[in-house]
């Protein structure tokens, strides 16, 4: 979008940064100057200071303060990810900058680590490069077919060519927080088509490193802008974490709404020929029944199971090589390295780590690590009227009564392979003091009249390993005739 020069202000004797914008004809140049002048009116300590807007040799130029330091992208590349506390402080600074810009009717539209500067010596976080900012109401694809923004950080509504408001910048902030915690965007793929598909369609799985910031990140990465976490609430949660080290409990899941028509994807052929991106409806009307959903009674099977848990019994499972046919109408996917495909008598198959032991009770199937600390659980029930989201909300409401120290919870509507789903995550004190607190990742969805519920529970000290097991289970999970044929 432009070239940035280090320059000298000869009148005031100071170093400045001058951004020479790359625009087309006189009309575009005039528009860029108007927008730059609007940005110059934004006054906030975390927004780069614009000194002047001029035209030189027919090109608009923005004269800005020179921030001595490096970008967040450079910081991540050189020193690795930020910790949650530093990420929260960075997020708060950027929220302040965005609030100031949005109050002026300006959308940044390109929030990413490369556009966040970290001033040396002071640690000041500075949001810069409003070069592609547009006044609220503009779209993502220009009339010439150019993509305006950075795809990995662009909101779904902008990907779809829809009119975008301040909520689009909040989505980008959520992606940036993920990148700060891990070093890269969760939507990073090897091709532009893959990025677009991931942003608009794929199941969203925040990184395990999100930890205590998960409710904020989950809220910001809500595909429906009307349900996305607002700036004020995000600021409240991040401020609480910076001050106290914990994020307050928040139930940000709205009441279920009727399913809406899939929003159209417009003009994406201008970006990637023959790419088809399917948008996901924001509402959920499918049904499910989970029954008892609590960690202590429904998720865990231990030698000293809590009251109400049925004793687990070892049951043989069919171990299926990736090249063999498992029967029962289930066609498995290849097993990742270190895993094996297990076909279950209940009519599903999934990948479990080598060495995990299968047990069952009257309703659930478990695959536990050799030391018993990490457990993969699966439950299959008939669908019911409350749907995946309703079932998870009910389980969440019962959490404090059945899980001592129930905290860091999050319930969000999502999708799994294009089907309505709900994701529930929480931490609790665990079964023993020696083992410590545990965290659970739990996804349920409706498919062919059945509710499939898959979760992984593990000590918080092994969170990354648990998330890897959870992702592998979901990526490999397939159903077949045995499940759909059950009464």
Whole-structure pTM value: 0.57
- For 432-469, write each residue's pLDDT tens digit: 777 788 999 999 999 989 999 999 999 988 888 898 89
How far, in Å, CA of 398 to CA of 395, rounded?
A: 5
Q: What is the pLDDT of residue 161?
A: 80
- For 54-74, write each residue's pLDDT tens digit: 888 877 888 989 999 999 999
- Whether the CB-CB separation of 8 and 50 falls below 8 Å is answered with no
482: left (phi over 0), alpha (psi -120 to 50) or beta: alpha
Range with lowest mean pLDDT among 294-298, 331-335, 407-411: 294-298
How far, in Å, CA of 69 to CA of 159, rounded?
A: 32
Q: What percent of the chain has pLDDT over 90?
A: 39
**DSSP state, 382?**
E
Q: What is the pLDDT of residue 250?
A: 58
Q: What share of the chain is helix, strand, coil (3-state, %, to 5)?
A: 30, 25, 45
Q: What is the DSSP string of 364-421?
A: EEEEE-TTS--EEEEEEEE--BTHHHHHHHHHHHHHHHHSTT-EEEEEEEEEETTEEE
Neighbours of 322 (CB within 10 A): 14
Domain 295-485 has what CATH class? alpha beta
Q: What is the mean pLDDT of the chain?
A: 77
pLDDT class for 329, splitting at 50, 70, 90? low
- Whether the CB-CB separation of 454 and 342 falls below 8 Å is answered with no
| Burial class, 337, CB count within 10 angstroms (exposed 0-12 / middle 13-18 / buried 19+) | exposed
SS3 399: helix
**DSSP state, 112?**
S
Partners of 61 in beta bridges: 20, 54
Q: What is the pLDDT of residue 32?
A: 66
Highest mean pLDDT among 172-186, 196-210, 417-431, 435-449 belongs to 172-186
Residue 110 appears among annotated catalytic residues? yes
pLDDT greater than 70 at residue 481: no
Fold type of domain 69-270: Transferase(Phosphotransferase); domain 1 (1.10.510)
**DSSP state, 296?**
I
Q: What percent of the chain has pLDDT over 70?
A: 74
Q: Catalytic one among 52, 79, 110, 442?
A: 110
Give residue limits of the domains in the chain: 2-65, 69-270, 295-485
Q: What is the pLDDT of residue 210?
A: 84
pLDDT class for 197, splitting at 50, 70, 90? confident
pLDDT greater than 60 at residue 3: yes
Residue 221 has which token pair?
């990465």
Fold type of domain 2-65: Phosphorylase Kinase; domain 1 (3.30.200)
SS3 392: helix
The larger pLDDT score, comparing residue 81 to residue 325, is at 81
């Amino acid at each position: 979008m432009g070239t940035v020069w280090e320059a000298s202000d000869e009148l005031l004797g100071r170093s400045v940064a001058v951004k020479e914008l790359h625009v087309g004809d006189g009309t575009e140049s005039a528009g860029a100057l108007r927008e730059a002048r609007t940005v110059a009116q934004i006054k906030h300590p975390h927004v780069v200071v614009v000194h002047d807007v001029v035209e030189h040799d027919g090109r608009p130029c923005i004269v800005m303060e020179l921030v001595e330091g490096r970008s967040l992208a450079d910081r991540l590349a050189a020193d690795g990810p930020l910790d949650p506390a530093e990420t929260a402080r960075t997020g708060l600074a950027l929220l302040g900058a965005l609030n100031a810009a949005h109050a002026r009717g300006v959308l940044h539209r390109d929030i990413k680590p490369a556009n966040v500067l970290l001033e040396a010596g002071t640690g000041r976080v500075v949001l810069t490069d409003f070069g592609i900012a547009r006044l609220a109401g503009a779209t993502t694809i220009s009339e010439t077919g150019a993509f305006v923004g950075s795809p990995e950080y662009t909101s779904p509504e902008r990907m779809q060519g829809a009119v975008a408001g301040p909520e689009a910048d909040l989505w980008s902030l959520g992606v940036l927080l993920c990148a700060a915690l891990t070093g890269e965007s969760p939507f990073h793929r090897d091709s532009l088509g893959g990025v677009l598909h991931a942003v608009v369609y794929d199941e969203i799985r925040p990184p395990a490193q999100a930890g205590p910031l998960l409710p904020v990140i989950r809220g910001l990465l809500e595909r429906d802008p009307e349900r996305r976490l607002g700036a004020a609430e995000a600021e409240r949660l991040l401020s609480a974490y910076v001050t106290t080290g914990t994020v307050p409990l928040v139930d940000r899941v709205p009441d279920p709404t009727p399913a809406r028509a899939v929003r159209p994807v417009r003009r994406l052929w201008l970006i990637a020929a023959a790419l088809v991106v399917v948008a996901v409806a924001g509402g959920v009307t499918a049904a499910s029944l989970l029954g008892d959903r609590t960690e202590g009674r429904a998720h865990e099977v231990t030698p000293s199971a809590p009251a109400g848990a049925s004793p687990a019994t070892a049951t043989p499972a069919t171990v299926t090589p990736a090249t063999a046919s498992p029967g029962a109408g289930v066609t498995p996917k290849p097993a990742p390295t270190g895993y094996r495909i297990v076909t279950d008598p209940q009519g599903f198959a999934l990948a479990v780590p080598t060495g995990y032991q299968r047990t069952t009770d009257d309703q659930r199937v478990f695959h536990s690590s050799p030391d018993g600390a990490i457990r993969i659980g699966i439950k299959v029930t008939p669908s019911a009227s409350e749907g995946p989201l309703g079932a998870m909300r009910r389980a969440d409401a019962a959490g404090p009564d059945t899980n001592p120290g129930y905290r860091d919870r999050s319930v969000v509507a999502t999708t799994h392979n294009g089907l309505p789903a709900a994701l529930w995550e929480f931490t609790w004190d665990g079964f023993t003091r020696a083992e410590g607190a545990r965290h659970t990742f739990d996804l349920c969805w409706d498919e062919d009249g059945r509710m499939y519920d898959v979760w992984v529970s593990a000590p918080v000290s092994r969170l990354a390993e648990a998330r890897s097991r959870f992702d592998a289970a979901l990526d490999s999970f397939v159903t077949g005739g045995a499940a759909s044929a059950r009464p």
